[in-house]
Amino acid sequence: MKTFGALFAVISGATALSIAEINGNRFISPYNGQTVTNVEGLVTAVSSAGFYLRSTKADRDAATSEGLYVYGSNAAKTVTVGDIITVSGKVSEYRSNVDYLYLTELTSPQNITIVSSGAKVKPLVIGKDTYSPPTSKFSSLDEGGLFGVPNNVSRISVANPKLQPKKYGLDFWESIVGELVTIKEAYGVGRPNQYGDVWVRGNWKVTGKNKQGGLTMTDGDANPETIIIGTPLDASKNPTDTKMGDYYGDITGVVSYAFGFYRVLPLTHITPERNSSAAHPPVSFTSKGSCKGITVADYNAENLAPTSTHLPQVVDQIINMLKTPDLLFLQEVQDNSGSKNDGVVSANVTLTTLVDSLFETSGVQYAFAEVEPENLKDGGQPGGNIRVAYLYRPDVVELYKPNQGGSNDANEVLPGPLLKYNPGRIDPANAAWVDSRKPLVAMWRAVKGGKKPFFTVNVHFTSKGGSTSLHGDARPPVNLGVDQRTMQAEVTADFIAQILEEDKKAYVIAAGDFNEFVQVQPLQTFAKKSGLTELDEVAKISMNERYTYLFDMNSEALDHMYVSKGIGKSVKYEHMNLNTWQNYDDQVSDHDPSVARFDLC
């Protein structure tokens, strides 16, 4: 590129702007809205909607991209890859949604002159001809970190910060937007969406790599070194049935931005060259059948209804993968009519179907414990009345002094400690639980050798749905529901703290879909106020294997177990990545279950 610069500077005239000047060293072009003439560039790629130019006069500033998208289907028909052209047009910043970043484009292209043809076009190899993508931070505007609270304190489109491509992920991708690049040795870190868009990492330095080949989110690191592969420029289609860890080889395409993310639009569709295995081993330990080793599993089984087509697969996983745990914390159990909004709230058919099916297949008899919500008051799929529930093996554990609570009964910690309702919900009228699941507290005893009862709290906090993308305009990105989750964490933690006030050695297990990461405010609050410790910490699970969910580029943990100090010793704990490793069609739920074993004697 630098040679072209010297060669053609004279031809194009002194007044023409370079592509680097048009892009500038910030997110928004300094020439936004202005008409520019005789911009010179090498055509690096063409699609039916437009074409991509690379500057013939590269500057020495890594922050100013040498690439530019020229938008216009008629103009695209007049150029060929390898042409060096001059073009005039209007510099425009485009986005299809106010939560996205802008893409700099040259629109209404006119007066295209082909200066020469047949020039060699070499993609920039990412990490070799460019910096390596930064591995932890996204934006200089992320005050308090990517998940800092409050969110949406500033906007990239307004602050328009100077690009620091060595330091911040968004700045890095912006600094090469419009360029033709090659990603060497690409592995999928996510699972494609219905359009075949898939997140990958290249052969540059990455952090958080898990054993399956994905990248796990850790504290302060949500993997800005990854990039989405979007719609191919030649209108071919990416596969939609690939999965985390599949190997795609080298991918060449142009850097763009659309639908909330920087992306590489490949010249043609990608194909997996080697596939990862989705086969996960079953849990490596089983129950001891007594207080010496009680197995406890946690599973968000995704809108489970009596007629769910995935119910038999959930049964299969519980039996063959989780090895029929003694106590199961379930989330997203729907009422007997599933998502039909018909006033039905009871889930006795849903839970009986599950229990009967488990018995038929394994001969293991389960019982269930739950408290019905009020119709349409707990959020989730409209009409589904999702709730948390326990399945348990009555031959191994039993409710201790059961006293069924109702939808509106607020559970209380009584001297002992004992529960007023067993099972019962925590403070159902509290504003923290509007349109959300109320935690279900229960008190249990191991049938064999269980002198000391233990307490469980099954949670499903309010969802993150509607959050803005990690590559979005709002900084820190909008983490929807974070304030409500903090309130929920406080109310739940206060209840647990009361149990531990009565008996500081009480056995307490709180588990479920917290819809939040441990490093973010709600769960920091929860740990501090409840006095519980996250089981990943207690069991010393390797940082990169702590995940139960796959979202965008991240293998991440939304589901957790927290335990009181008394039950940390000789614990076993495994995350069962039965679903995150699968392709879209073969996942049974959108969450992975986890299994633990505790000595509760």
Contact residues for ligand NAG, defined by CB under 6 A: 35, 37, 88, 110-111, 152, 239, 241-242, 272-275, 346, 348-349, 352, 468, 474, 478, 583
Q: Are 93 and 29 in contact (CB under 8 A)?
A: yes
Cβ at position 271, least distance to ligand NAG in Å:
8
Pairing verdict, β 67-71 and 103-116: parallel
Cβ at position 15, least distance to ligand NAG in Å:
11
Cβ at position 89, least distance to ligand NAG in Å:
7
Cβ at position 99, least distance to ligand NAG in Å:
6
Q: Which residue is nearest to ligand NAG (CB)?
A: 88
Q: Please, which residue, 36 or 535, has the CB nearer to ligand NAG?
A: 36
Q: Are 257 and 101 in contact (CB under 8 A)?
A: yes
Q: Are 369 and 328 in contact (CB under 8 A)?
A: no
Q: Please, which residue, 273 or 502, has the CB nearer to ligand NAG?
A: 273
216 φ, ψ to 5°?
-90, 135
Cβ at position 64, least distance to ligand NAG in Å:
23
**Listed residue (480, 538, 558) closest to 217, CA to CA:** 558
Cβ at position 137, least distance to ligand NAG in Å:
21
Q: Please, which residue, 366 or 598, has the CB nearer to ligand NAG?
A: 366
Cβ at position 528, least distance to ligand NAG in Å:
27
CA distance 578 to 596: 16
Query: What would the two tokens of residue 253 be?
Result: 């395409």
Inter-axis angle of helices 482-502 and 521-530, nearest 10 = 10
∠ CA 190-196-198 to the nearest 5 degrees? Answer: 25
Q: Please, which residue, 73 or 111, has the CB nearer to ligand NAG?
A: 111
Q: Please, which residue, 415 or 466, has the CB nearer to ligand NAG?
A: 466
In which element (H, E) is residue 523 found?
helix 521-530
**Listed residue (305, 193, 205, 206) closest to 242, CA to CA:** 193
Q: Please, which residue, 239 or 417, has the CB nearer to ligand NAG?
A: 239
Looking up tokens 């006795």 gives 348
Cβ at position 474, least distance to ligand NAG in Å:
5
Cβ at position 561, least distance to ligand NAG in Å:
30
Residues facing residue 397 across a β-bridge: 446
Q: Please, which residue, 82 or 239, has the CB nearer to ligand NAG?
A: 239
Q: Please, which residue, 123 or 272, has the CB nearer to ligand NAG?
A: 272
Give the HSE-up count for residue 401: Cα atoms under 13 Å, Cβ half-sphere: 11
321 φ, ψ to 5°?
-105, -45
Q: Please, which residue, 114 or 414, has the CB nearer to ligand NAG?
A: 114
Secondary structure E strands in 430-553:
440-446, 454-460, 474-475, 507-513, 533-534, 549-551
